[in-house]
Amino acid sequence: MVSYYLTSEVTHRNLNDGTIEGIRHKYLPVFSVQYHPEASPGPQESAYLFDEYIDIMRTNRGE
């Protein structure tokens, strides 16, 4: 049972030093990034993160 809660995958890595910049849980509706997706280089480069967040909130809002 513990492995279920510790199961995640790397989704983003820093190209300069290889550090982990994003993770996603394989079973739960949870993800995270360790950078500012609203910042540069372009206004639409990370829009998918916000779309995914909204989808997770709509799916799990408990109505």
Query: What's the CA gap between 53 and 62, in Å, rounded?
Result: 15
Stretch 10-38: mean pLDDT = 89
pTM, two decimals, is 0.70
- Does 42 score more than 70 pLDDT? no
Stretch 41-62: mean pLDDT = 83
CB 12 within 8 A of CB 21: yes
Stretch 55-60: mean pLDDT = 91
Q: Quote the pLDDT of residue 3.
A: 67
User: What whole-number percentage of the chain has pLDDT above 90?
Assistant: 48
Write down the residue that tokens 């739960």 correspond to.
28
Domain ranges for the chain:
2-59
